[in-house]
Chain A
Amino acid sequence: MRKGQTVPPTSERTRTRGAPLSLGDRLFAGSATGAGVLILLVLAGVAAFLVAEAWPALTASEDEIPGGEGLVLYIWPLLLGTLLSATLALLMAAPLAVAIALFVTHYAPRRLAAPLGYIIDLLAAVPSIIYGLWGFSVLAPQTVSPSGWLAENLGWIPFFAGPASSTGRTMLTAAIVLAVMILPIITAVIREAFLQTPRLHEEASWALGATRWEMIRLSVLPFGRSSMIGGSMLGLGRALGETMAVAIVLSVSADAFSFNLISSSNVATIAANIALKFPESSGVAVNVLIASGLVLFVVTLLVNMGARAVINRRREFSGAN
């Protein structure tokens, strides 16, 4: 479809043609519309619940908020902690996911490709608490000595300022666990897109004398672009909202956010903070936690809208016309 043209909604198009709708058509149109409306209702319901429950915290005075410095200063470090761990996880997982998807779809011999695909799908189904336990008991101890090395040799980079944690339950470990956790889902989405690269486009590259990698760059990656973004955003959404894995892995001991990834003083993420604090909270403290949840909700929404905007910006070039 060309830019600037809009398609009228189905019902309108049929009406102008003057054909009466059959019962089946009406049923289908009705149920599809119903499903669409239901999504909006659920979303509105969640938003309404969050706003209503967060309201007492929004209007409470500063000293009623845990920490005694007001709501904004309570949530701000948590938000930064959430964004840092999730972004870091995405930066680690996304390139790897693209590489794995490419290997599975275009490099692996057929006999290997199919089982690999299943294994990836299987990994996506592992509950996050399992990843959390693995991060806590296996990965964290392993990171202690590399962290020490990083603090010693790359300490001038704020991320590795140190002193290195002696337990390994650091922001870095949490980010790695998150990365491992979101890797399968991103890979699965991207692999699916790469598999569907039209043969016609691949042949266009081959015929020009492209090597395999050049063919991938000319045909496969551009075709999979929106799925790479979409899959990454799906992963980022999961990383932003991940609760148990972070709550188990991260040793929370600070109220102030820092970019230091390997020290033992970390702020929690919003979701992990809610999980850790909720059982022992009452009164306004509960409302404060829900307010932080509202912030997370809004951030996730913005991230997804941003991704959608990026995809749409080059819609004309997507090949969908």
Chain B
Amino acid sequence: MAKRLDVSDLDIYYDKFLAVQGVSMTIEPRSVTALIGPSGCGKSTFLRTLNRMHELVPNARVEGKVMMDEEDLYGPNVDPVRVRRHVGMVFQRPNPFPTMSVYDNVAAGLKLNNKRMKRSDMDELVERSLRSANLWDEVKDRLNRPGSGLSGGQQQRLCIARAIAVQPDVLLMDEPCSALDPISTGAIEDLIVELKRDYTIVIVTHNMQQAQRISDTTGFFNLKAIGEPGALVEIDATTKIFTNPGNTATEDYVSGRFG
């Protein structure tokens, strides 16, 4: 549980187009790392390389290294499917499986990993995941109702429950609150802070207050120039990035002077 990610000199391509260039960063376990930056600068693209979702786009590829503790995620013998079982992901819009009940949604990943789990063990894991996602009390009486019948915020917490049910080492979140109202957003933020006790969390966000509220480390991405690839400008403790950043572009961005 909760492993360290070490990214070095990562170049991310869509076919021949270099989208993100030369990212190096260390993501500490049991912490929240926020990635901020203007739209189109490659934050989400970078996030998707951490669980090898990026390569699902035809001809997309990366060069460089991503280490999870001692394991090279892009090593020659590494199966991307196995990487994704250890690196969970929550998306911008809640995406519970619409044809499945609340229970089955949470159990979906478990069933992929472990085909012959006992029903009682499964029940226990589903309950524990829903409790960790602060959703249990709201859905315990309707576990067999469709997951798509929940509210947006509940659906997003359901997706978080689904992601943590398989006990991943790292949890990636791609703007998990951008489709939610402030109250649901608050619930998810509280949850993220609770979850960092057990997981390594990387979150992409456009909301700088959010980054300040929940993250320990913040990385600022930006385009080098129009038409140039995106790059990591700087990464540092969140308080430093927001009060005394080392780069003027970062300062302009976090103070709202551009972007």
Chain A residues proximal to chain B, CB less than 8 Å? 2, 110, 198, 200-201, 203-211, 214, 218-219, 222-223, 225, 314, 316-319, 321
On chain B, the residues within 8 Å of A318 by CB distance are 98-99
Contact assessment for A319 and B88 in the assembled complex, using a CB-CB cutoff below 8 Å: no
Contact of A316 among B83, B96, B109, B149 (CB under 8 A): B149
In the assembled complex, B93 has its CB within 8 A of some CB on chain A: yes
Contact assessment for A2 and B53 in the assembled complex, using a CB-CB cutoff below 8 Å: no
Shortest C-beta distance, A319 to chain B (Å), equals 3
CB under 8 Å from chain A, chain B span 101-158: 101, 108-109, 112-113, 145-146, 148-149
In the assembled complex, B188 has its CB within 8 A of some CB on chain A: no
Instruction: Give complex CA distance A110, B58 in Å.
Output: 9
Shortest C-beta distance, A141 to chain B (Å), equals 45
Contact assessment for A207 and B112 in the assembled complex, using a CB-CB cutoff below 8 Å: no
> Known contacts A201-B97, A218-B108; is A208 also within 8 Å of B159 by CB?
no
> Known contacts A2-B149, A110-B58, A317-B146; is A208 also within 8 Å of B98 by CB?
no
Contact of A204 among B58, B95, B145 (CB under 8 A): B95
Contact of A200 among B51, B95, B100, B113 (CB under 8 A): B95
On chain A, the residues within 8 Å of B96 by CB distance are 204
Instruction: Give complex CA distance A314, B58 in Å.
Output: 34
* Complex A-B, nearest 3 residue pairs according to Cβ-Cβ distance, in ascending order: A319-B98, A209-B85, A222-B99
Q: A110-B58, A218-B97 are in contact. List 20 more A-B contacts (CB 8 A).
A: A200-B95, A201-B98, A203-B91, A204-B91, A207-B51, A207-B91, A208-B84, A208-B109, A208-B162, A209-B84, A209-B86, A211-B81, A222-B100, A225-B99, A314-B99, A316-B146, A317-B98, A317-B100, A318-B99, A319-B148
Instruction: Give complex CA distance A2, B98 in Å.
Output: 14
Contact of B95 among A201, A210, A222 (CB under 8 A): A201
| Binary contact track B180-192/A, C-beta < 8 Å → 1, others 0 | 0000000000000
Chain B residues proximal to chain A, CB less than 8 Å? 51, 53, 56, 58, 81-86, 88-89, 91, 93, 95-101, 108-109, 112-113, 145-146, 148-149, 159, 162-163, 166
Contact assessment for A223 and B91 in the assembled complex, using a CB-CB cutoff below 8 Å: no
On chain B, the residues within 8 Å of A2 by CB distance are 149
Contact of B112 among A200, A210, A219, A222 (CB under 8 A): A210
Shortest C-beta distance, A204 to chain B (Å), equals 4
Shortest C-beta distance, B104 to chain A (Å), equals 10
A and B contact pairs by CB, cutoff 8 A, 10 listed: A200-B93, A201-B97, A201-B98, A205-B97, A207-B84, A208-B85, A210-B112, A222-B98, A223-B99, A316-B149
Instruction: Give complex CA distance A2, B151 in Å.
Output: 12
Which A-chain residue is minimally distant from B58 (CB atoms)?
A110
> Known contacts A201-B98, A318-B99; is A208 also within 8 Å of B166 by CB?
yes
Which B-chain residue is minimally distant from A219 (CB atoms)?
B97
On chain B, the residues within 8 Å of A314 by CB distance are 99
On chain A, the residues within 8 Å of B101 by CB distance are 317
Shortest C-beta distance, B89 to chain A (Å), equals 4
On chain B, the residues within 8 Å of A214 by CB distance are 112
Contact assessment for A208 and B108 in the assembled complex, using a CB-CB cutoff below 8 Å: yes
The CB with the most chain A CB atoms within 10 A, among B56, B89, B98, B166, is that of B98
Instruction: Give complex CA distance A218, B105 in Å.
Output: 10
Contact assessment for B82 and A209 in the assembled complex, using a CB-CB cutoff below 8 Å: yes
Instruction: Give complex CA distance A211, B113 in Å.
Output: 11
On chain B, the residues within 8 Å of A209 by CB distance are 81-86, 109, 112-113, 166
Contact of A206 among B84, B86, B145, B146 (CB under 8 A): B84
